[in-house]
């Protein structure tokens, strides 16, 4: 096949891959959105203490972190299709265990269920990288952001399934607050089927095959055998790749900031007299902020570069934290804070994820992407665990102040990266 013919075929395949990922993300978003807030409320109910409510987000993000690298390795060996469908199945098992744990009043089993449900978040995160496997570098952030955006539909719908979930749960004889997990189960099973059926041929395997074919042609033209690059682990690559290391740091700390505030918002709102319907609506607005404008941030990242969008995202996160600090006792202040929190996360994650893919070759991408998601979820778990303790000690406003330190680290690191890049770009390449 001629290069032109191959590029045309790849473009058609890329469009189909993005469509499949969009459907999978909608279903996965329903599974995620229906359980994010309920996890904190159930953890408080089964443990008997608000201090343990942060463990819901902690266990979910720990679960996502635990499966991130295995799912990436599975993608490297078997392709995105097997990896993404397997992650969705693990999340479906988590939904079953969450219902079981609440039925038998077992807090430890609930924590295990939330860990398994975290695999759904890990799957959603890795799906965005699947959109970059065949994407042209000029549109990489755009394609990635479209997949991120598609989560809006399911993730916004999910928290608003609390009411219908209670009706379904009551008709099935399930305990209160667990009906929405039925929707999570059906949605994650549907996502697994979509990935398994739709991602044929597999985008990552096609991209690797194209790379291998290009290397073979180069070897044939030059008459010199070209050794296939040795695959390294994600951590090893980050040690020698400052661009990728910076991008992973941005993703991890932005996730920690978002999880810390978002995970405690339902508990704080409930303590201030908000109904489940109001809690669900507020979280929906936050999730809308996370995903609805991601194509705009993707376009900006392709048009103006990754770094300006990352810094804009940190500015939005800072605005969210200030609103949480000053407006924690106001419904309007809380809503504004959570919307800004979602927008800041979106800008930082879209631009940071595109930078991760930019920074490494195709054969190293799954390893770095997996380690990136591991770091992202690990940082989120620490943020969620710390948030419960800070909320108990200093309130929601104190939580907002504490999280400002994470934004400060990203901003300072960004300034250092900008100065380093300017020094390298100095004529003669002299560092000064």
Residue 342: predicted pLDDT:
93
Read off the pLDDT band of 11 (50, 70, 90): confident
Name the superfamily (CATH) of residues 3-429. Answer: MFS general substrate transporter like domains (1.20.1250.20)
SS (H, E, C) the chain: CCHHHHHHHHHHHHHHHHHHHHHHHHHHHHHHHHHHHHHHHHHHHHHCCHHHCHHHHHHHHHHHHHHHHHHHHHHHHHCHHHHHHHHHHHHHHHHHHHHHHHHCCCHHHHHHHHHHHHHHHHHHHHHHHHCCCCCCHHHHHHHHHHHHHHHHHHHHHHHHHHHHHHHHHHHCCCCCCCCHHHHHHHHHHHHHHHHHHHCCCCHHHHHHHHHHHHHHHHHHHHCCCCCCCCCCCHHHHHHHCHHHHHHHHHHHHHHHHHHHHHHHHHHHHHHCCCCHHHHHHHHHHHHHHHHCCHHHHHHHHHHHCHHHHHHHHHHHHHHHHHHHHHHCCCHHHHHHHHHHHHHHHHHHHHHHHHHHHHHCCCCCHHHHHHHHHHHHHHHHHHHHHHHHHHHHHHHHHHHHHHHHHHHHHHHHHHHHHHHHHHHHCCHHHCCC
Mean pLDDT for the chain overall = 83
Alpha-carbon span 28 to 121, nearest angstrom: 8
Residue 330: predicted pLDDT:
79
Residue 304: predicted pLDDT:
93
Tell which residue, 195, 138, 151, 198, has the closest CA to residue 357: 138
Percent of the chain beyond pLDDT 70?
Answer: 87
Is the confidence at residue 319, as pLDDT, over 50?
A: yes
Read off the pLDDT band of 219 (50, 70, 90): low
Residue 218: predicted pLDDT:
59
Residue appearing with tokens 């901003």: 411
Is the confidence at residue 4, as pLDDT, over 60?
A: no
Q: Is 419 exposed, middle or buried (0-12, 13-18, 19+ CB in 10 A)?
A: exposed
**Max Cα separation, the chain?**
75
Is the confidence at residue 429, as pLDDT, over 80?
A: no
Read off the pLDDT band of 214 (50, 70, 90): low
Is the confidence at residue 276, as pLDDT, over 70?
A: no
Residue 411: predicted pLDDT:
96
| pLDDT tens column, 175-192 | 877 778 888 889 999 999
- pTM, two decimals, is 0.78
Is the confidence at residue 352, as pLDDT, over 80?
A: yes
Angle of helix 242-271 relative to helix 331-359, nearest 10 degrees?
Answer: 160
Average pLDDT on 83-96 reads 94
Residue 211: predicted pLDDT:
78
Read off the pLDDT band of 145 (50, 70, 90): very high
Judged by average pLDDT, the poorest of 72-86, 132-146, 372-386, 398-412 is 372-386
Is the confidence at residue 2, as pLDDT, over 50?
A: no
Residue 265: predicted pLDDT:
80
Q: Which residues contact 313 (CB under 8 A, 6 or more apart)?
A: 254, 297, 343, 344, 345, 346, 347, 348, 349, 351
Give exposure, 219-236, as e/b (b: 16+ Cβ within 10 Å): eeeeeeeeeeeeebebee
Residue 216: predicted pLDDT:
58
Average pLDDT on 13-33 reads 88
Residue 177: predicted pLDDT:
74
Residue 189: predicted pLDDT:
94
Is the confidence at residue 223, as pLDDT, over 60?
A: no
* Domain extents in the chain: 3-429
| pLDDT tens column, 361-391 | 887 888 898 899 889 888 887 887 788 788 8
Tokens of 346: 């979106």
Is the confidence at residue 7, as pLDDT, over 60?
A: no
Length of the chain, in residues: 432
Average pLDDT on 283-290 reads 80
Phi, psi of 226 (to 5 degrees): -110, 120
| pLDDT tens column, 59-83 | 887 888 889 889 988 998 899 999 9
Residue 8: predicted pLDDT:
54
Read off the pLDDT band of 169 (50, 70, 90): confident
């Amino acid at each position: 096949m001629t290069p032109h013919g191959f590029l045309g075929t790849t473009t058609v395949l890329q469009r189909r891959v993005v469509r499949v990922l969009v459907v999978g993300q909608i279903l996965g978003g329903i599974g995620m959105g229906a359980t994010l807030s309920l996890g904190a409320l159930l953890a408080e109910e089964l443990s008997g203490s608000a201090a343990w409510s942060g463990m819901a987000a902690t266990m979910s993000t720990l679960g996502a972190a635990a499966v991130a690298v295995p799912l990436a390795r599975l993608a490297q060996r078997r392709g995105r299709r097997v990896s993404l469908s397997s992650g969705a199945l693990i999340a479906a098992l988590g939904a079953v265990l969450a219902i079981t744990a609440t039925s038998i009043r077992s807090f430890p089993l609930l924590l295990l269920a939330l860990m398994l449900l975290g695999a759904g978040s890990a799957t959603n995160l890795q799906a965005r990288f699947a959109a970059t496997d065949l994407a042209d570098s000029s549109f990489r952030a755009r394609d990635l952001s479209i997949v991120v955006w598609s989560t809006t539909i399911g993730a916004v719908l999910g928290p608003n399934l609390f009411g219908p979930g209670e009706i379904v749960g009551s008709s099935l004889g399930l305990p209160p607050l667990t009906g929405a997990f039925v929707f999570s189960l059906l949605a994650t099973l549907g996502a697994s089927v979509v990935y398994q059926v739709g991602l044929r041929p597999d985008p990552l395997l096609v991209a690797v095959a194209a790379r291998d074919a290009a290397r073979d042609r180069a070897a044939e033209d030059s008459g010199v055998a070209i050794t296939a690059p040795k695959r390294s682990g994600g951590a090893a690559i980050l040690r020698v790749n400052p661009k990728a290391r910076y991008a992973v740091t941005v993703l991890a700390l932005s996730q920690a900031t978002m999880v810390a505030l978002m995970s405690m918002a339902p508990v704080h709102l409930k303590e201030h007299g908000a109904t489940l319907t109001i809690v669900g609506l507020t979280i929906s607005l936050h999730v809308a902020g996370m995903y609805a404008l991601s194509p705009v941030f993707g376009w900006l990242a392709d048009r103006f570069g990754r770094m300006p969008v990352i810094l804009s995202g940190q500015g939005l996160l800072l605005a969210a934290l200030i609103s949480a600090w000053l407006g924690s006792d106001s419904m309007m202040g809380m809503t504004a804070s959570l919307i800004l929190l979602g927008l800041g996360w979106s800008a930082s994650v879209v631009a940071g994820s595109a930078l991760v893919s930019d920074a490494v070759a195709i054969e190293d991408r799954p390893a770095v992407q997996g380690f990136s998601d591991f770091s992202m979820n690990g940082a989120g778990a620490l943020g969620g665990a710390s948030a419960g303790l800070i909320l108990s000690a200093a309130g929601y406003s104190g939580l907002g102040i504490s999280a400002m330190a994470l934004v400060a680290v990203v901003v300072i690191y960004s300034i250092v990266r900008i100065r380093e890049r300017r020094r390298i770009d100095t004529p003669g390449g002299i560092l000064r």
